[in-house]
Chain A
Amino acid sequence: MYDFQYHRPTSLDEASRMLSGAEEASFIAGGQTLLQTLRQRLAQPSDVVDLGGIAELRGISREGDNVVIGAMSRHNEVAGSADVAGAIPALATLAGGIGDAQVRNMGTIGGSIANNDPAADYPAGLLGLGATVVTNNREIPADDFFVDMFETALEPGEIIRSVRFPVPQRAGYVKFDQPASRYALVGVMVSQGAGGVRVAVTGAGPSVFRVSEMEDALGRDFSADAIAGIRIPSDGLNADIHGSPEYRAHLVTVIAQRAVNAALQAH
């Protein structure tokens, strides 16, 4: 790890100021990805601004038809939240399957989505549930938030406050692990709610994406059989030693069907 200046602000304003005053700064939320990146010397920020001291970024609550999760909420807090389990059990399942127990005790929803790892779980959760990202100066729908691999719509200095999830009628999340890292080789969030059916896939492509053909089919008939024959094209999907694009494309259908079944079982 290269050395850096470390800051621990206690308010959003202070954090924003620290960031803009620095040469090249990184926020650190839970740090479960950032610190490993820094340890491997893959990044060299001049300043690291720790968001862990900002109380207003914490907390999980049910607000009407939404569940609002503070950006600094740890994965284990989301997984164990009665509000989440009651309203969107699929989200609790998703959070409870991120990384491992120790990672879940530190890692945060804000950190995860700001990083937008192509194989992370939360991007599929947000996109598949039609969530909205609330920052210190605006609201960004999930559809606009995840731009590309490790790239989001966040502006420099912009800080995620919370994520607002509309409560769906039903939802299911299933992840098929990459065997070594245990990130998603393919992870699919399927939901049906006021906004219709959403199917979001992580792990398979350079960034999380929706599968409209499946959404349409499930809109007509919310059953695993309805999408059994839908194969997404393998062009542009990720290729590595753990799976070819063809394998990932195949898995998207298999895992999406299982996510549908999970949604039907949960509700």
Chain B
Amino acid sequence: MKVSMTVNGKAASADVEPRTLLVEYLRDHLELTGTHVGCDTGQCGACTVHLDGRAVKACSVLAGQAEGAEVTTIEGLANGSEELHPMQAAFREYHGLQCGFCTPGMVMAAVDLVKTHPGASDETIREQLEGNICRCTGYENIVRAVKAGAASMGGQ
């Protein structure tokens, strides 16, 4: 079946099997390999993207369910600018990543978190990131990065 959506501001369309997950559509058909797959049970959050502006797990959405939607992946977060998005920059500044595998999903979740919980405390940040597993950082620097990223996003 044909599935069409807007990905990172550009129209995208591909002929896929109905069982194709959004993450497979992004990785295999659009070659957007920044969105990662870390589990098969919808828990690790490495595949987090924005679907119509909200963070979702691209492994838990059929490509067909995203028909006509606006999808943003880590590759599109900075809107094509050479500059990093403030949240990306904060993760670098605060060493909020090590192996980098969970990072795209973590950053996408963090950007949504800032929208839904402006001015979030450390405790709220930790609670709201429960859908994203990181095995490297112990989360300490992720929390610092999200806080700093939220501040530099200025409530966007």
Contacts and interface: CB of A to CB of B under 8 A. Distances in A.
Contacts of B57: 102-103, 106
Given A31-B60, A35-B61, A39-B40, A100 B45 contact: yes
Contacts of B51: 105-106
Given A3-B17, A101-B112, A182 B42 contact: no
A182 B130 contact: yes
A6 interface: yes
A188 B55 CA distance: 29
Interface string A6-32: 101000000000000000000010011
Contacts, number: 86
A40 B131 contact: no
Contacts of A28: 62, 65
B18 A48 contact: yes
B67 interface: yes
Which one of A3, A8, A38, A101 has the highest number of Cβ atoms from chain B below 10 Å of its Cβ?
A101
B54 A6 contact: no
Contacts of A102: 45, 48, 55-57, 60, 109, 131
Given A100-B45, A101-B109, A106 B60 contact: yes
B141 to A, nearest CB: 20
A35 B131 contact: no
Interface in A39-71: 39-40, 48, 50, 52
Interface residues of A, number: 28
A4 B60 contact: no
A31 B131 contact: no
Nearest to A180: B43
A7 to B, nearest CB: 9
A6 B1 contact: yes
Contacts of B1: 6
A184 to B, nearest CB: 14
Contacts of B121: none
A38 B19 contact: yes
A223 B10 CA distance: 58
Nearest to B1: A6
Contact of A2 (B19, B21, B62): B19
Contacts of B62: 6, 28, 31, 35, 48, 50
Interface string B51-72: 1001111011110110100000
25 contacts: A2-B19, A6-B1, A6-B18, A8-B64, A28-B62, A32-B42, A35-B62, A36-B41, A39-B41, A50-B64, A76-B116, A101-B55, A101-B112, A101-B113, A101-B128, A102-B48, A102-B55, A102-B60, A103-B60, A103-B131, A105-B51, A105-B55, A105-B112, A106-B61, A182-B130
Interface of B: 1, 17-19, 21, 40-43, 45, 48, 51, 54-57, 59-62, 64-65, 67, 109, 112-113, 116, 128-132
